[in-house]
Amino acid sequence: MDGRRAVAVWRDGAAVRVPADQPVVTAFDAGLARGDGVFESVLVVGGATPRLADHLARLQCSTGLLDLPPVDDATWRELVAAAVDGWPAEVEGVCRLFLTRGDGTSPTALALLAEVAPDVLRQRADGVAVVALTYGLAADVRASAPWLLGGAKTLSYAVNMAAQRHAHAVGADDVVFTSAEGRLLEGPTSTVVWAADGVLHTPPLDSGILAGTTQARLFAAAEADDWPTAVTAGTVADLHAADAVWLLSGIRGAAPVTSLDGVARGDAGLTARVQELLAR
Amino acid sequence: MDGRRAVAVWRDGAAVRVPADQPVVTAFDAGLARGDGVFESVLVVGGATPRLADHLARLQCSTGLLDLPPVDDATWRELVAAAVDGWPAEVEGVCRLFLTRGDGTSPTALALLAEVAPDVLRQRADGVAVVALTYGLAADVRASAPWLLGGAKTLSYAVNMAAQRHAHAVGADDVVFTSAEGRLLEGPTSTVVWAADGVLHTPPLDSGILAGTTQARLFAAAEADDWPTAVTAGTVADLHAADAVWLLSGIRGAAPVTSLDGVARGDAGLTARVQELLAR
């Protein structure tokens, strides 16, 4: 792996900075062996993490959904501070927080930091070509089946990664997952937002998708700016008919969807407003 | 973690034994960060791995389904030999093989070895209380959606682990997953087999379940012993009506299901025959 990196692990009650190429988990760690853990990806900009609180709130939610031993926010903040220490202000970074069930004695908590990948910066600027792929689940099943871990950001992302590889194989950049009945869900690492009839829309959380931290911030800023928002059980047809579609995430921000299932689409000039709202 | 353990990692073209409590993957390894990898669990008995070939065949299949760089069987055999070296013949072990997408430079291949847990030995002898839980997917969706990784044994097992925790929370030991329409799929770490009308049954692979190595061995031995076998799209009702039900896996063997959704059930004396066939 190229580029600047940093890692901090929690050991004996303190955040300890370790060399980035030094192994940090054993072969018996459930995070490795079973994807049994949770994570967050936090943007580092100007050498700081202005959105950390939103991500810690979601991390605590994921921790509870997986019945993991809770790690308090102060610990996470120490880990983040140790990882970010000395990071150059001019380099955008992604700080990932991992909590795993560990190797049977105690959970594993660590923070890692890497440069934001050039592809991500390009997609933030130029947008993304997207394909819609089924996630297989009905939109209502996760609300009544907690073992399916709806709403939790887990380390078990093999399907998310396979979907993105599938998108690349067909010439696209990213994916919008749909439910068994064709409802919009989310991207593998993003929230879907669309503008139609003067309203910003996003799918309902009771479909089991993640609560998007960037989407929440955008919707609060939009409401304050007299741009109405709605939670809407949309379909791919709604995206085709929309004025603009974005994939939102903490690192990439609002990436406009420039094509959907091979059909080019515009953004009606709305991306600048969305990005301005997110910059507030 | 208690008990005897061993680890071997692939480094610079050779299997290297490392202390079991020594970290072996970095924070940037996709196996940790994304559950982006595959694995197998191989029984070690008498200090040997008599079923290794079956597991390597499935590992290669999983490797292909995830588009991971292939690792040849000779490498895996070296890793297993390095992990098993010196293991006492009288201690049953589980040897796990992990292949992850690594940290951007090369994939990670390793083998670990631990004692078979007392719970597993108890379940092998005394059977398991099982609850049926939905897996949410329709039985036919994975056959036409390869990004859902049907048939691949991935490191993304958070849902499997959550389902087992749910079973424990309701007083059961394990789970039978069912499809959205109520068809039998598999256990989180096992294959479902039932006996009815003089025939051994198991669900079809085109539902996206793993090809069970122990189930395949049992069915071959049963056919040779004039016990007919069938691939059957069954339901939980079929399990309730069956003469016997087992969860099959390489480590636990054939664990008879002693209750299903709280209803006690017998095995019509058939478990002894199943275990004798598996011992051939």
User: Which of A206, A203, A215, A204 shows the shortest CA–CA distance to A249?
Assistant: A215
Distance CA A21, CA A9 (A): 13
> From the list A20, A137, A154, which residue is nearest B137 (CB)?
A137
> From the list A98, A135, A147, which residue is nearest B133 (CB)?
A147
Min distance A44 CA to chain B CA atoms (Å)? 17
Chain-chain contact of B2 with A103 (C-beta, under 8 angstroms):
no
pLDDT tens digits along B66-115: 999 999 999 999 999 999 999 999 999 999 999 999 998 899 999 999 99
Q: A249: which 2 tokens? A: 């995430």
Min distance B184 CA to chain A CA atoms (Å)? 16
Cα separation of the two ends of chain B: 33
User: Which of B218, B247, B35, B158 shows the shortest CA–CA distance to A161?
Assistant: B35
pTM: 0.97
Give CA separation, B98 vs B11, B28, B35, B51, B154, in Å. 14, 16, 11, 17, 9
Chain-chain contact of B112 with A32 (C-beta, under 8 angstroms):
no
Distance CA A87, CA A48 (A): 9
Chain-chain contact of A34 with B112 (C-beta, under 8 angstroms):
no
Predicted confidence pLDDT, tens digits, chain A (280 residues): 457 999 999 999 999 999 999 999 999 999 999 999 999 999 999 999 999 999 999 999 999 999 999 999 999 999 999 999 999 999 999 999 999 999 988 999 999 999 999 999 999 999 999 999 999 999 999 999 999 999 999 999 999 999 999 999 999 999 999 999 999 999 999 999 999 999 999 999 999 999 999 999 999 999 999 999 999 999 999 999 999 999 999 999 999 999 999 999 999 999 999 999 999 9
Q: B22: which 2 tokens? A: 């020594």
A143 to chain B, any CB pair closer than 8 A? The answer is no
pLDDT score of B41: 98
Min distance A92 CA to chain B CA atoms (Å)? 17
A141 to chain B, any CB pair closer than 8 A? The answer is yes
Residues 168-227 of A with CB under 8 A from B: 180
User: Chain A residues with CB inside 8 Å of B152's CB?
Assistant: 158
| pLDDT band with cut points at 50, 70 and 90 for residue B1 | very low
A30 to chain B, any CB pair closer than 8 A? The answer is yes
Chain-chain contact of B66 with A29 (C-beta, under 8 angstroms):
no
User: Which of B19, B61, B56 shows the shortest CA–CA distance to B41?
Assistant: B56
Distance CA B258, CA B256 (A): 6
* Residue A269 DSSP SS3: coil
| pLDDT band with cut points at 50, 70 and 90 for residue B2 | low
**A vs B: CB pairs below 8 A:** 197
Element (H, E) at A259: strand A253-260
| pLDDT band with cut points at 50, 70 and 90 for residue B3 | confident
Chain-chain contact of A145 with B157 (C-beta, under 8 angstroms):
no
